[in-house]
Structure 1
Amino acid sequence: MQRAQVRVGALLVAGDAVCLIRRQRPDGVQHSLPGGLVEAGEDAFSALHRELHEELGLDAAAAPAAPVLRWVQDQASTRPGRDGIFRRRHLVFVLRLPTTARDGLAAVELDAADPTAVVWCDPARAARLHLYPALGGALARAATAPAPRKRPVLLPPMTDTTYRWR
């Protein structure tokens, strides 16, 4: 059995909007949270800081508060163009930023190999988009919640039944 890679992601909240990366895929648009894979010898918190800097030019250490781990979601699904089961463990953090921080962030993902756009949208609208990872309604609730939970929430797994690649 293949061991799951760990992917960190951040729900960036600034004012009344959340940040997403918009990608055009062969079967439609996919939105994802900024983030990426944890590298060998790296802890999740360091990986998150690195990924946010590489993708958006964001110095997460300069935020008013540290990112908080909010969700864990396992993925075991097939993926177009790959043999076998695609496994990931998603660690999703919430990071609240001042509204003015949006102005200093990249408008496109800085390290993307494919065309992307960095978009900000209302959390309720974001929850209805095709998201990776599949946060759905949890996203809208977290963006408006006054305080994070003390422990991360384990979300239902992403499988071929619950998620479709685009």
Structure 2
Amino acid sequence: MTKTTEPTPAIAVRACVAILRGDEICLIHRRRPGGDQYSLPGGLLYPDEEASAGLARELKEELDLDLTGISDRPQLRWVQDQATTRPGSDQVFRRRHLIYVLPIPPGVRDAIATTEQDAEDSTSVVWVPLAQAASCHLYPAVGEALSQLAGPTAASGPAMLPAITDMTYSWR
């Protein structure tokens, strides 16, 4: 008898979110030998997991944030592909980032963890002014797109951002 397995997706999908409170954004701050790196909270989706369910799971795991208690839902704003090489590897590292935006009410910010809950170290969860975040070393590379959020945020469907490549992004 031949054993069959589900095919592995060619590109892993990562759902993440720009959590906004006033003029600040929630970021995960990692200190790396090559400099600080800031990430939008989120993570990889499981095979056959819906993006909204995976994002909710990741926010609960990382930030102890339960989306069921928030009236607004995260809105898919951008999609960004990634094809880079990581230090020490000649393999191409591929991701498709689904980037959501979620403005939160005042009390929710206080309920978000101050350290990443599923990290092996004490990675900080920080609130950064949106204008400053756009110039941080961000993963995914959404700095220019974030600057659009500083003004009026008209709802728009998902837009493709320029791809993350070795020419546009350096690992830290």
The question of a shared fold, defined as TM-score above 0.5 by the shorter chain, is answered with: yes
Measure, in 2, the Cα distance between the counterparts of 1:14 and 1:126. Answer: 13
Q: Helix, strand or coil for the counterpart of 2:118?
A: coil
Summarize deviations over 1:97-145 as a string: whole Å, max 9, x none. Answer: 0122111110000001233100001111000000000001211212543
User: How many residues align structurally?
Assistant: 164
Structure 1 CA distance for aligned equivalents of residues 105 and 57 of structure 2: 20
Alignment gaps of 5+ in structure 2: 1-8
User: Does residue 111 of the first structure (1) align with residue 118 of the second (2)?
Assistant: yes
CA RMSD in angstroms, aligned pairs only = 1.3
Match of 1:156 among 158, 162, 168: 162
1:53 aligns with 2:51: no
Q: Deviations over 1:25-46 (max 9, x none)?
A: 1211100000000012211110
Q: Quick check: which has more Rg, 1 or 2?
A: 2
- Runs of 4+ residues over 4 Å off in structure 1: none
> How far, CA to CA, are the matches of 1:3 and 1:143 in structure 2?
35
Q: Is residue 165 from structure 1 mapped to residue 149 from structure 2 by the alignment?
A: no
The share of aligned pairs that are identical, in percent, is 52
Q: Provide the C-alpha distance between the structure 1 equivalents of 2:161 and 2:121, rounded to a whole number of angstroms.
A: 29
Structure 1 pair 26/99, CA: closer, same or farther in 2 (3 Å)?
A: same
Structure-2 residue corresponding to 1:39: 46
The match for 1:130 among 113, 133, 137 is 137
CA shift at 1:62, angstroms? 1.8
The amino acid of 1:156's aligned partner reads P
- Give CA-to-partner distance per residue, 1:66-94, whole Å, 9 cap, x none: 11000000000100133310000000000
Instruction: Give me the TM-score of the superposition, normalised by structure 2.
Output: 0.91
Amino acid at match of 2:73: A
